[in-house]
């Protein structure tokens, strides 16, 4: 028992395979290269996104460390002044 949506998808895929210009009944070289190129570009873009996120995370960690050090310095200065404003 197949759903109409799966049946429609199967007909579309079968139509693509049947319409291949090489006459062999399968995907043409151009189609295969298009899929391979698309997968390669997807991998490159995903890799760039991962690298950008790693860079952002490193900058966030540095910023957080600077803020933590500033708070510690302010707390130490407040203790030296004898006030309890920290």
Lowest mean pLDDT among 4-8, 17-21, 75-79: 17-21
Mean pLDDT, rounded, for 56-72: 97
pLDDT band at 62 (very low <50, low <70, confident <90, very high): very high
pLDDT at 74 over 70: yes
Question: CB 13: neighbour CB atoms within 10 A?
Answer: 10
What's the 3-state SS for the chain? Answer: CCCHHHHHHHHHHHHHHHCCCCCCCCCCHHHHHHHHHHHHHHHHHHHHHHHHHHHHHHHHHHHHHHHHHHHHHHHHHHHHHCCCCC
pLDDT tens, position by position, 9-57: 666 656 655 555 555 667 888 999 999 999 999 999 999 999 999 999 9
pTM: 0.50
Domain regions of the chain by residue span: 26-81
């Amino acid at each position: 028992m197949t759903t109409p949506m799966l049946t429609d998808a199967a007909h579309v895929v079968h139509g693509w395979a049947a319409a291949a210009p090489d006459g062999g009944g399968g995907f043409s070289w151009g189609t295969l290269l298009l899929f391979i190129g698309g997968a390669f570009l997807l991998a490159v873009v995903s890799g760039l996104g991962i690298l950008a996120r790693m860079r952002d995370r490193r900058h966030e960690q540095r910023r957080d460390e600077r803020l933590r050090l500033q708070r510690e310095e302010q707390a130490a200065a407040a203790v030296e002044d004898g006030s309890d404003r920290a």
